[in-house]
A = this chain, B = another copy of it.
């Protein structure tokens, strides 16, 4: 199990979802969560998770949440890198809207070769984050996680760091309100129903006194 393309597309998606579940502080994912995100049945999840455990990619005990092994995590991060680079490419080079890019990347990530991914990365100038503000892991697996908070936990002017790409409708609304990574907003002005999808960082110290 040396590289990501020794895996089936389904296995690639499982690892990616298991990894992503904990990226922003949530607990390890359960069978139910996997079934929901992968649009499959709970029975199918049990089946597949056992296969992944057999390959040494996840640690699994019956009736317990799934966790990645170091080997599984390495491959999961490689898939996340692929996904986010492809999303960035589609938005920057092909005019995709950030709300529609996810599904396309979800399919392409399994078909792109390592070579294509590295060419895209170079062409884009090694971007640090995808269109939603999610950090893009390096080719070596390194990942710089921004320490961001929810608008409810912050005060005053904040830089938008990330908007969850889980719901295209929320992305469209945020785009219309100018709530996009890099933009400055007042924490209190983020609508309540969007707040749980938005991560911000208070504008630092006395640097930007506008």
Does A94 interact with chain B (Cβ within 8 Å)? Answer: yes
Q: Quick one: which of B96, B111, B115 contacts A108, CB cutoff 8 A? A: B111
Q: Is the CB of B108 within 8 A of A112?
A: yes
How many A residues touch B, CB cutoff 8 Å? 18
Q: Is the CB of B116 within 8 A of A94?
A: yes
User: Which chain B residue shows the least CB distance to A111?
Assistant: B111
Does A71 interact with chain B (Cβ within 8 Å)? Answer: no
Does A43 interact with chain B (Cβ within 8 Å)? Answer: no
Residues of chain B within 8 A (CB-CB) of A10 are: none
Contact with B along A115-128 (1 / 0, CB 8 A): 11001100100000
A111 to B109, CA, bound (A): 9
List residues of A (86-116) whose CB comes within 8 Å of B's CBs.
Answer: 90, 93-96, 103-104, 107-108, 110-113, 115-116
Q: Quick one: which of B90, B93, B107 contacts A111, CB cutoff 8 A? A: B107
Q: Least Cβ distance of A201 to chain B in Å?
A: 33
Q: How many identical subunits does the complex contain? A: 2
Residues of chain B within 8 A (CB-CB) of A103 are: 113
Residues of chain B within 8 A (CB-CB) of A90 are: 116
A123 to B107, CA, bound (A): 21
A93 to B119, CA, bound (A): 10
Q: Least Cβ distance of A85 to chain B in Å?
A: 13
Q: Is the CB of A111 within 8 A of B113?
A: no
A139 to B96, CA, bound (A): 20
Q: Interface of A with B (CB < 8 Å)?
A: 90, 93-96, 103-104, 107-108, 110-113, 115-116, 119-120, 123
- A to B CB contacts below 8 Å, 22 in the list: A90-B116, A93-B93, A94-B116, A94-B119, A94-B120, A94-B123, A95-B119, A96-B119, A103-B113, A104-B112, A104-B113, A104-B115, A104-B116, A107-B111, A107-B112, A107-B113, A108-B108, A108-B111, A108-B112, A108-B116, A110-B111, A111-B111
The 8 closest A-B pairs by CB, nearest first: A111-B111, A107-B111, A108-B111, A94-B119, A104-B113, A104-B116, A110-B111, A95-B119
